Structure 1
C-alpha cells in the first residue's frame, strides 16, 4: 500500500505549537500508533519505521517535542521556551495521543516510546486513551546505575556539563557537543536533578506523577551493549509502573546484530524486531 505523509502543527494545552507528521494509507484502519521520541532525537529518525507500519495499515503519528526540531524555529525561540521535562509528557505526548484518538476513535491506540518517551508517559493525563504501550530502551537515569566509563560520563553530564553550559548559552548546546538536538534550559535542569537522585524522577513524586494510575499492557525492551539504557535501568523504569501489565524482554545475547540504543528503528532490524512488534500491536503477542 502506498504511504502518504501529512505534516501539521498542533498547539498544546500550554500554548506551544508542536510539529506532527501523520503516516497513513487510504484504507480503513483498526490500529493507530504514536511514537514518542528519545531526548533530542528528531521525529524524522523514526520515519522508516513509521512508513513500514503505515504500509501494513497502521496510522502512525510522529512529533517533535516543544523546543526541538520542527517544533522550534530558532535559538531565540528555544531560549524563550519555559517548559520542563514533565511538560513534554503532560502537554506534548498527551496532545498527540488525544489527536490520534480523535481522528481514529475506533482504532486500537498503541504508544511506542523510545528512551525518555517512556519516562514521561508517567505524566501523561491522557493515558486512559491508550490501549497498549511498547517501550524501546526506556530507562531510569541515575548515574550510579551505569557501569565503568559510562557511569563517569553520566556523572559529568548531570553534575558538570548541564550546570556549566546551560546558563552560559541560555539552553543546553547539545549540537556543539555532537550529542543530539539542542535542549531547553528548564527541561535539562529538571532532567539533571533527576539523574543525581537514586530514585531518579520518583524522588520528586507529587500529584503530577501518574505512574501508579497506568494499568496498560506494556511491552518493555532492553538490549545488550546499550550503554544509554543498560538492562538494570530498563528494569527500574518498568518497576515504576506498578499497576501495569509488564512484559519485559531483553534481546537475546546470541543474536549476531545488536541494535544498541538507537538501532531498533533502523531498517537493518526490520525482520528481527519490526515484524515482531507489529505482530504484538495486532495480536498482543510477539510470535
Structure 2
C-alpha cells in the first residue's frame, strides 16, 4: 500500500457532548523559536489527572490528518489526544518552503518539544504518552523534555539508513530517496513531493537529513548540529516503557532499522514486536497502513493495550524480537 493511494483523513469535528468532550479542535502553538505550529486536540472534560494525554508524531512529510481516525479511537477509549504538523507540513506550512530552514532535528527538538510543553500546560498533571510513526518515533527522542514521556509506542520507526531498507526494494528506494529526492530539492529549493504523489512538499534541510547515507543519526547534518549544541543526542532522557511495532512487509521498518533506532533509547525499557500481515489475516500492510481504520480491530488494540497498561496482551499477533 502506497501513501499516495490513501486519501487524507479530515479530523473529526464531532462534538460528543457539548459539556464533556470535543474532538478535533484546531489549535496554534508557538515553538521556542517563535514558529507557529498547527494541530488538533481531542479533549475530555472535566480534566482528570488520571487520564493520559497522547501526542501523535507523524511520519516524515505525512500530514497529521492521516492520524485523525486513530486519534478518534484513542479518544473513544478514554485518552486525550494531540495531533500536529511539523513545520513546513500541512497545518504548519508557511507561504513558501524555499526560505524555510527546517530539519529533522528541528521537528523533534523544537516542534515535538513544543507539544510536550503544550501537553504540560493544557493537561496539567496528566500522564503524557507518545505514538510515533516512522521518523515520528525518532522525533520522540529529540525533545529536551523527553523525561516527561510515560509510555511510547512506535510504528515502523527508523531514520532511513539505506542499508537497512529491505533487500528486495533497497536499490529502487535508494534511487528514489537518496538520488532523485535531493536532486529535485536542489532544483526547486524544496522537495515537490505532493505533485509527484510521493509525500507532502518537504523542506530542503529535512531532505538533506533523510538522504545523507550514514548509519548514525549524529552524523546526519542536523544530528551533528544538535549534538554539538547539547553535547550529545537527548534520546537518553527518555525513560518511557517503549513498544516498537514493526511490520514484516514494511521495506523501511526492517528489523535492523528498528533496532538501530531503539539502540538510542538507552534508558528506556524497550520491546520490539514484529507482525506479519498473515498474522492478522491480511496479504499486505506495509509502512503507512497501520493507522488506517480497516486495522482498528486487528492492529490498533495492540497500541491501545500498551498505552493503557505498559504491557502486551497475551493473545497478540506477531512475535517478539530478541534484544541484542
TM over 0.5: yes
Name the counterpart of 1:181: 200
What's the CA shift for 1:149? 4.5
User: Are positions 1:7 and 2:23 aligned together?
Assistant: no
More off after superposition, 229-238 vs 89-98:
229-238
Which residue is 2:10 aligned to?
none
Give the equivalent residue in structure 1 for 2:218: 202
Q: Secondary structure at the match of 1:70?
A: helix
Residue aligning to 1:130: 149
Contact 1:264 1:273 survives alignment (8 Å): yes
CA offsets, 1:79-125, max 9 Å, x none? 12112110100110110111112111221110110000111223211
Q: Does 1:222 align with 2:246?
A: yes
Shift of 1:213: 3.1
Q: Distance in 2 between matches of 1:88 and 1:180?
A: 16
Match for 2:69 among 36, 44, 48? 48
SS at match of 1:164: helix
Alignment RMSD: 1.8
CA distance in 2, matches of 1:11, 1:187: 20
User: More displaced, 24-33 or 259-268?
Assistant: 24-33
Contact 2:156 2:253 in 1 (8 A): yes
Matched ranges for 1:25-104 at <5 A: 25-29=44-48, 30-74=51-95, 77-104=96-123
Match of 1:272 among 289, 295, 298: 298
**TM-score for both structures, normalised by structure 1:** 0.92
Task: Tell me if the contact between 2:130 and 2:140 (Cα under 8 Å) persists in the aligned partners.
Answer: no
Aligned to 2:158: 139
Give 2:191's match in structure 1, choosing from 162, 172, 182.
172
Moved more, 206-215 or 264-273: 206-215
Q: Residue 58 of structure 2 contacts residue 132 of structure 2 at CA under 8 Å; is this kept in 1?
A: yes
Does the aligned pair in 2 maintain the 1:68–1:181 contact within 8 Å? yes
Q: How many pairs are equivalent?
A: 282
The answer as to whether partners of 1:24 and 1:57 remain within 8 angstroms in 2 is: no
| Aligned-pair CA distance for 1:251 | 1.3
What's the CA shift string for 1:176-199, capped at 9, x where partnerless? 321110000112112222xx11x2
Q: Distance in 2 between matches of 1:94 and 1:82?
A: 17
Q: Distance in 1 between matches of 2:203 and 2:292?
A: 27
Alignment correspondent of 2:5: none
Structure 2 length-normalised TM: 0.82
Give the alignment partner of residue 267 of structure 2, picking from 243, 247, 264. 243
Aligned residues of 2:146 and 2:235 also touching (Cα < 8 A)? no
Deviation at residue 158 of structure 1 after TM alignment: 4.6
Shift of 1:155: 2.0
User: Does the 8 Å CA contact 2:105/2:139 hold for their aligned counterparts?
Assistant: yes
Quote the Cα distance in structure 2 between the aligned partners of 1:21 and 1:208. Answer: 32
The 1-side partners of 2:90 and 2:104 are apart by 16
Pick the structure with more helix per residue. 1
